[in-house]
Amino acid sequence: MSTNTALPDVLDDSDVSRRDRLREQHGAKAPLLALAGGVLLLVSGLLSWSYDDRILGDISIRFYPAGIQIYAMVLGLVAVVLGVLLRRRPGWLNPGRGLAAVGWGSLVFVVVALVTIARQAGGSININEGGWVALVGALLVFAAGFVAQRFELNVRTWPRLPGWAEILVIVVLMAVLLFTTAYTLGLDDSWTFVCLLVTLLSVAIALVGSGFGEYVGFVGGNNRRVLLLAAFLVAFLFPFTQDGSDANMSIATQILIFAATALGLNIVVGLAGLLDLGYIAFLGTGAYVGAMLSQSTFATIGWKPPFLVVMLCGMAVASTFGLIIGSPTLRVSGDYLAIVTLGFGEIFRLAMFNLDGTNGPDLTNGPNGIPAIPDLNFFGWDFGKVHTVAGIPLGRFSNYYFLLLLLIAFVILVFSRLNDSRIGRGWVAIREDERAAEAMGVNVFGLKLLAFAIGAALAGLAGTIKAHQDTSVTPDQYIFLESAFLLAAVVLGGMGTVAGVLVGATILKLLPEKLRDAADYRLLLFGLLLVIMMRFRPEGLVASKRRQLEFHEDDEELVQLAQTEHLEEAK
């Protein structure tokens, strides 16, 4: 299934007929407006934005674009390209939608930038000509996006490139992805980060909205293996862009563990439709098993097997817990299950907290947890040490990063292969209509239990690695909020998809790290984000067509699009 096209049109809520009339009358002016606005944005990148050279990086110098000046130029470039395309009207693109996104994006971007300059430098007097030019440019692009006419996407006329060129497209895209990621992570300033985020988001939405996303999906579909390989290569190369710094690698490892766990949860929630609110307990089980069987002097069990055995133990114990929890509760219907699993999650935390020797046997050292877990050592490769590969030093977190990359590859493999199999179909059938599935001979109870066990095993596996990476395990790492975060990653990204969960996990872990200014408001924003997402885009950022239809049944256009596409695929 390809990436989605039908992003919510930002103007959807306004009066439809009035909007149509406006487009009818002024649509012809849109390309010109876009060109003018885009050129202004491009020019603004060469001008000075601020008198003060300490704000948002250094943006006071002319003809030497840096930081947000470059973002303005990127936005300008995209606007110009879309403007030209809008004039030439290729059947396979819908530049109007893209322009709307770029318009909104540039406007928000410029306003954020100008407000930041004014606030930090003490008044709008400190904004230089570049800022004002950019504002005019952004307004023009916004206007263009507002009046630009939307075309029907004609899916059949995608231009086919020769095989090598398609592969080149993928390689270039991946290279851009790698560069952008490294660059984004390198930013320290919160507001520059916000500006970049707005830019990237609006460009991404513009590309997807105007049909490039579909095209990329089409090209990717033609070269599936190349795409996968390239994606993993990019992920593999990432530590080499960090020049030995462990700061970003630490975030990256956290994202990977989080994403791997969320993918496990995605089997339970996204495929089988079982809402598990205590899933973090399985990660915790794995982590505790990892810690108790580690070389740590605080480990309460004398047995210290090699790590490979520990991983298997972590999986086995977690999935056993999954079965123990699952067998009584999976007969209970949906909403109850959510609360029962929540209760189990709390029981796990309380048990780990209490098993300290005074309230029951000493297994976990109670609230103090198990500290001083040594680093892993694979065949002499000490994870705690810095290794130099090809002249680039790779620190402790880079070592774990590579291991976690293998883990996530494994989890993705398990997820996608199960999804596309008899088992996966059984799960989706149960999610759709449990009674009907049973009446068609699907072993409902067994499959639910299987989903629980597999999900738990994957989380347990991730947990054993997490114990070593964190060097300590304590009960307060496994509170309900963490389960909510995992669920949010699944829902935010797009239930039942791999890419969506990766995106969701990245956003949820990366944003708090980079928005230090708003650190205290992180949870507040998280709560708000959940509510807003459910209200406006419940299917998640990267939705499968199936999910979109489920949530937007009344959207005729979408239904038709999906139908034609299915027919296309069938041919």
Find the binding residues for other proteins in span 323-382 (CB under 8 A). 328-329, 331-336, 338-340, 342-344, 346-347, 350-351, 353-354, 358-361
The binder of other proteins chosen from 12, 129, 433, 476 (CB under 8 A):
433
Phi, psi of 94 (to 5 degrees): -130, 75
Nearer to other proteins, 103 or 273 (CB): 273
Instruction: Pinpoint the alpha helices (H) of 238-375.
Output: 247-266, 280-292, 307-329, 334-354
CB 458 within 8 A of CB 260: yes
Query: Is 390 near other proteins (CB under 8 A)?
Result: no
The answer to whether residue 531 forms part of the interface with other proteins (CB under 8 A) is yes
Q: How far is CA 516 from CA 183, 188, 191, 380, 471, in A?
A: 18, 9, 10, 38, 24
Asked if residue 542 binds other proteins (CB under 8 A), the reply is no
Question: Residue 217's closest CA among 4, 493, 501?
Answer: 4
Q: Does the protein bind other proteins through residue 439 (CB under 8 A)? A: yes
Interface segment toward other proteins; rule CB under 8 A; list 17-25, 149-157, 290-298, 410-418 = 410-418
Among 42, 437, 458, 462, binds other proteins (CB under 8 A): 437
Binding other proteins (rule: CB under 8 A), the pick from 243, 432, 476, 517 is 432
CB 456 within 8 A of CB 269: no
Q: Binding to other proteins by residue 511, rule CB under 8 A? A: no
Q: Quick one: residue 390, left, alpha or beta (phi over 0 = left, psi -120 to 50 = alpha)?
A: left
Question: Any contact of residue 252 with other proteins (CB under 8 A)?
Answer: no
Residue placing its CB nearer to other proteins in the complex, 88 or 224: 224
What phi and psi, each to the nearest 5 degrees, are found at residue 387? Answer: -115, 145
Residues 459-498 that bind other proteins (CB under 8 A): 480-481, 484, 487-488, 491, 495
The one-letter amino acid code at 32 reads L
- Our finding on whether 157 is near other proteins (CB under 8 A) is no
Please count the residues of this chain forming the interface with other proteins, following the rule CB under 8 A.
85
CB of 324 to other proteins, least distance (A): 11
- CB of 259 or CB of 337, closer to other proteins: 337
Helix, strand or coil, per DSSP, at residue 395: coil
| Binding mask of the shown chain, residues 271 to 310, with x at each position contacting other proteins by CB under 8 A | ----x-----------------------------------
Q: Please tell me whether residue 555 binds other proteins under the rule CB under 8 A.
A: no
Min separation Cβ 367 and other proteins, Å: 11
Name the one range near other proteins by CB under 8 A: 12-20, 67-75, 97-105, 414-422.
414-422
Phi/psi of residue 381, nearest 5 degrees: -85, 100
3-state SS assignment for residue 4:
coil
Tell me the CA distances in angstroms from 345 to 1, 119, 281, 287, one per residue in order.
35, 45, 5, 14
Told to check if 386 binds other proteins by CB under 8 A, we report no
Which of 434-468 are b and which e, b meaning 16 or more Cβ less than 10 Å from the residue's Cβ? beebeeeebebeebbbbbbbbbbbbbbbbbbbbbb
Interface with other proteins includes 524 (CB under 8 A)? yes
Residue 529 near other proteins by CB under 8 A: yes
12 is an interface residue for other proteins by CB under 8 A: no
Is-contact 211 86, C-beta < 8 A?
Answer: no
Q: Does 242 bind other proteins (CB under 8 A)?
A: no
Nearer to other proteins, 171 or 511 (CB): 511
Give the torsion through C-alpha atoms of 153, 541, 134, 54, to 10 deg.
Answer: -160
Could you give the angle at the alpha carbon of 548 between the alpha carbons of 510 and 500, nearest 5°?
Answer: 25
Residue 238 burial by Cβ neighbours in a 10 Å radius (0-12, 13-18, 19+): buried
21, 304, 385, 417: residue in contact with other proteins (rule CB under 8 A): 417
Q: Which is nearer to other proteins, 173 or 518 (CB)?
A: 518
